[in-house]
Amino acid sequence: MHDRPIAEKIDPSLAAELRRPLPTYRAVFNSGMTAIALLLTALAILPLGSILLEILIRGGQNFSWAVFTNIPAPVGVTDVPNGFGNAILGTLMMVGIASAIAIPVGVLTGIFLSEFGRGTKIGNSIRFIITILTGIPSIIAGVFAYGVLILNKVTQFSAVAGGFALAVIMLPIVALTTEEALKLIPNHQRLGSAALGANRLQTTFRVVVAAAIPAITTGVLLAVARAAGETAPLLFTALFSISWPDGLFNPTPALSVLIYNYANSPDIGQNQMAWTAALVLVGLVLCISIISRIVTRRKQ
């Protein structure tokens, strides 16, 4: 009896009603709403596609292997290789420092807010502060890092100062996305783990966090992408350099600052290289996203 189709278990008249096609006005309404949704989706994607196409066309004109292996050539000099490998390396250094600070702290904060501090006064206070931090302009994070590290002589303009400023920007994004990712895990998984004898910490880290890793990864990538494209905080903390990075405690170049400087330059050659640097920056974020997705999928 249990193997019979569902349609045979219900009343024949109800089954016939289920098989009856939609009335004409409902079919037209459904098709119209679908068309409107597709049109609005296309309109939302159009600006993004236009930006990417413009970057590909203009940035691809000067794109070559030399941009990864050379430093910027002096203005007006055309007989030497021109690139921005130093800015790529500096960006990776500062984003790496920021990730090392913000990801562990942000993920643990999100875990606390979702699993241990939900409904408590301290949890609500922390969530309120983090929510406010997400709306603070990035230049404020740069001023804060400048005041804490550079004015207090903790360090000079450097990759460490720049990474700290980017970590301030990344932290609330990672924390809030982690909290929301953990809230999406059904409560019966927690109850099932507790029924099998797992304590609260084991349930949280081996069941809940493990199930939410893909969503947490998405939040981390959003934070990394934003940090990689920030300019204002680095102007206050890392400055810039036309040479290769000289350690973590000296002025360090970055792709975003190079794009800002080249876009404002009166030299046409530097304007064109700004588009190429933008193309490399977009490609860098895309590569990080693809690699993390592959790693996450293999873990699952």
For residue range 188-209, list pLDDT tens digits in order.
Answer: 888 888 888 888 888 888 889 9
The pLDDT mean for the chain works out to 86
- pLDDT for res 18: 66
The verdict on 23 and 94 lying in the same domain is no
Do 247 and 111 belong to one domain? yes
Residues 153-170 have pLDDT tens digits of 888 999 999 999 999 999
Most distant CA pair in the chain, distance? 85
Look at residue 48 in the predicted model and tell me its pLDDT.
86
Are residues 270 and 129 part of one domain? yes
Assign residue 287 the CATH number of its domain: 1.10.3720.10
CA angle (207, 209, 211) in 5-degree steps: 65
Of residues 226, 48, 264, the one with CA closest to residue 273: 264
Q: Are residues 121 and 27 in the same domain?
A: no
Residue 299 has what pLDDT? 54
102 phi/psi in degrees, rounded to 5 = -80, -35
Q: In terms of domains, do 29 and 134 share one?
A: no
Do 148 and 29 have their domain in common? Answer: no
Residue 110 placed within a domain? yes
Q: For the segment 131-161, what is each residue's pLDDT rounded down to a tens digit?
A: 998 888 899 999 999 999 998 888 899 999 9
Same domain, 11 and 96: no
Average pLDDT of span 121-128: 91
The structure tokens listed for 16 are 């016939």
pLDDT band at 17, cuts 50/70/90? low
Please tell me the distance from the alpha carbon of residue 257 to that of residue 144, in angstroms, as a whole number: 19
- Residue range 43-70: mean pLDDT, rounded: 89
Q: Let me know whether 244 and 97 are in one domain.
A: yes
Give me the mean pLDDT over the 213-218 stretch: 87
- Give the residue among 224, 225, 255 at the shortest CA–CA distance from 240: 255
Q: Are residues 11 and 94 in the same domain?
A: no
Decide which of 112 and 14 is more confident. Answer: 112
Answer whether residue 49 is part of any domain: no
Q: What is the mean pLDDT of residues 2-17?
A: 59
More confident residue, 3 or 121: 121
Question: Do both 136 and 247 map to the same domain?
Answer: yes
In total, the chain counts a number of residues equal to 300
pLDDT band at 4 (very low <50, low <70, confident <90, very high): low
Is 270 part of a structural domain of the chain?
A: yes
Domain that holds residue 17: 1-38
Number of domains in the chain: 2
Query: What pLDDT, on the 0 to 100 scale, is given for residue 29?
Result: 85
Q: Are 286 and 189 in the same domain?
A: yes
- Return the closest-CA partner of residue 275 out of 57, 88, 83: 57
Residue 8 is predicted with a pLDDT of 53
In this prediction, residue 75 carries a pLDDT of 78
Please name the residues in contact with 174: beta carbons below 8 A apart, sequence gap of 6 or more. 102, 103, 105, 106, 107, 109, 110, 219, 220, 223
CB 115 within 8 A of CB 190: no
| Inside any domain, residue 50 | no
pLDDT at residue 112 in the model? 93
Q: 23 with 145, same domain?
A: no
Rounded CA separation 69/45 (Å): 34
Percent of the chain predicted with pLDDT > 70:
92
Question: Do residues 178 and 264 touch, judged by C-beta distance below 8 A?
Answer: no
* Mean pLDDT, rounded, for 172-187: 92
Q: Which residues contact 232 (CB under 8 A, 6 or more apart)?
A: 137, 138, 139, 142
Q: What's the mean pLDDT in 66-93?
A: 86
Q: Is residue 58 assigned to a domain? A: no
pLDDT of residue 62: 85
Asked if residue 54 belongs to a domain, the reply is no
141 within a domain of the structure (yes/no): yes
Buried b (16+ CB within 10 A) or exposed e, 77-86: eeeeebbbbb
**Residue 77 domain-assigned (yes or no):** no
pLDDT (tens digit per residue) in 241-288? 888 988 899 999 999 999 999 988 888 888 999 999 999 998 888 887
- Residue 294: pLDDT above 70? yes
Each residue of 22-46: pLDDT tens digit?
Answer: 678 787 888 899 999 999 999 989 9
* Residue, of 164 and 64, whose pLDDT is higher: 164
Tens digit of each residue's pLDDT (9 = 90 or more) over 71-84: 888 877 777 788 89
Kindly tell me if the per-residue pLDDT of 1 is higher than 50: no
- How distant, in Å, are the alpha carbons of 101, 102, 120, 175, 256 from that of 125? 22, 19, 9, 14, 34
Q: What is the pLDDT of residue 296?
A: 67
